Structure 1
Amino acid sequence: MNKVVHKAFLLWDWEKEAAWLNEMSRQGWQLKRVGWCRYEFEQGEPGRWQYQLEMLQKNDPDYIAFLEDTGIQVVGKLFSWVYLRRENDGTPFELFSDTDSILRHMDRVLTVCYVIGGVNLFLGGTNLIGGFPHTLLNLGLGALICLGALPLARRRHKLAQKRKMQE
Structure 2
Amino acid sequence: MKKIIHRTFFIWNFEKEIAWLNEMSRQGWQLCRAGFFVYEFEQGQPGEYQYQLQLLRKTDPDYLAFLEETGIQVVGRCLNWIYLKKKSDGQPFEIFSDLEGVLRHLDGVLALCGVIMAVNVLPGFANLANSHLQQLSWLNLALAAVGAFGFCKLYLRRRALTAGQDLHR
Query: In the alignment, does 2:158 pair up with 1:149?
Result: no
CA distance in 2, matches of 1:148, 1:69: 34
CA distance in 1, matches of 2:59, 2:89: 28
CA distance in 2, matches of 1:127, 1:84: 41
SS in 1 for 2:96: coil
The letter of the residue matching 2:112 is: V
CA distance in 1, matches of 2:77, 2:137: 32
For structure 1, the 5+ residue unaligned runs are: none
CA distance in 2, matches of 1:31, 1:147: 29
Q: CA deviation at 1:135?
A: 1.0
Query: In the alignment, does 2:72 pair up with 1:72?
Result: yes
The equivalent of 2:57 in structure 1 is 57
CA contact (8 A) 1:118 1:146 kept: no
Using the size of structure 2 for normalisation, the TM-score is 0.95
The equivalent of 2:165 in structure 1 is 163
CA distance in 2, matches of 1:45, 1:165: 42
CA distance in 1, matches of 2:5, 2:103: 31
Q: CA deviation at 1:39?
A: 0.4
CA distance in 2, matches of 1:150, 1:140: 15
Superposed, 1:103-122 pairs within 5 Å as 103-122=103-122
Using the size of structure 1 for normalisation, the TM-score is 0.96
1:92-143 superposed Cα distances (whole Å, 9 cap, x missing partner): 0011110110000000001001111121011101111323131111111101
1:128-162 superposed Cα distances (whole Å, 9 cap, x missing partner): 13231311111111011111331111010121222
The equivalent of 2:97 in structure 1 is 97
CA RMSD of aligned residues (A): 1.0
Structure 1 stretch displaced more, 142-151 or 23-32: 142-151
Paired residues, what number? 167
CA distance in 1, matches of 2:151, 2:43: 34
The letter of the residue matching 1:156 is: R
For structure 2, the 5+ residue unaligned runs are: none
SS in 1 for 2:82: strand
CA distance in 2, matches of 1:59, 1:129: 40
The list of structure 1 runs, each at least 4 consecutive aligned residues, that deviate by more than 6 angstroms after superposition, is none
Percent same amino acid at aligned positions?
52
